[in-house]
Amino acid sequence: MARQGTIVFFQLETTGFDTTSCHIVQLAASCKNTIFNRHILPHIPIGRRATEVNSFTFRYGQLFLHEEPVSTMTLYYSLTTFINYLGSFPGPVLLAAHSSRRFHGRVLMRVLKKCSLFELFKKVVSGFVDTLPLSKKLYPQLKPCNLQHLVQHFLRRQYNAHNAVEKAKQLEELFNYWDPDNDDIEDVTDWI
């Protein structure tokens, strides 16, 4: 059975790891060599552990990446341009992320609802694919199943693990390398 619609691979960088309160500082996506990338000015400090993971800091009302200032946009504008980006692909669109169920999908859904954009989002996106349980299902003997290890194992390369764009691109390439069938994808999809 042929796949319907489009799978877009996305990644968030945030101020922390609490899905109920963290703010997004970077929203990135990749699909068929088309990249989306927005940096967002947070309204809360970035936690020390989050900075260790994503290299973002927030000082004096400015967002920094590796101590260099980055141009930011509002959350609302970033989300509306993201929805427009997703709407440019043949639908229905599925959003895929590594750990979508536990983190990326939860955070994105929360902020979409907070910004009153969820109904618009639902017109474009039909669900979330979680590639973490997909990797465990397809390759149960492989440990660990973090994205960096999977890229190194299957694609035989390193990448900038502190960059949401690179993570989204690597996840897309990894997914295409695996070439999962529709049943495997459906098993790890949470429908909206």
- pLDDT tens-digit series, residues 12-51: 999 999 999 999 999 999 999 999 999 999 999 999 999 9
Q: How far is CA 52 from CA 7, 14, 15, 126, in A?
A: 30, 12, 11, 33
> Tokens in use for 117?
């954009």
Give the H/E segment covering residue 48.
helix 48-54
- The verdict on domain 6-191 having CATH code 1.20.58.100 is no
What tens digit of pLDDT does each residue of 109-149 get? 999 999 999 999 999 999 999 999 999 999 999 999 999 99
> Tokens in use for 92?
């229905």
Q: What is the residue whose two structure tokens read 């260790």?
A: 52
Are 100 and 128 contacting, i.e. CB atoms less than 8 angstroms apart?
yes
Mean pLDDT of 165-178: 97
Give the domain ranges of the chain: 6-191
pLDDT exceeds 80 at position 169: yes
Calculate the average pLDDT of the chain: 95
Which residues have a Cβ under 8 Å from the Cβ of 143 and sit 6 or more positions away? none
* Peptide bond just before 42 cis, omega within 30 deg: no
- C-alpha 41/C-alpha 61 separation (Å) is 8
Burial (CB count within 10 angstroms: exposed 0-12, middle 13-18, buried 19+), residue 41: middle
- C-alpha 152/C-alpha 135 separation (Å) is 14
Which residues have a Cβ under 8 Å from the Cβ of 140 and sit 6 or more positions away? none
156: number of Cβ within 10 Å: 7
- C-alpha 147/C-alpha 131 separation (Å) is 9
H helix count then E strand count, the chain: 8, 9
- C-alpha 84/C-alpha 103 separation (Å) is 23
What tens digit of pLDDT does each residue of 45-71 get? 999 999 999 999 999 999 999 999 999
pLDDT exceeds 90 at position 1: no
pLDDT exceeds 80 at position 3: no
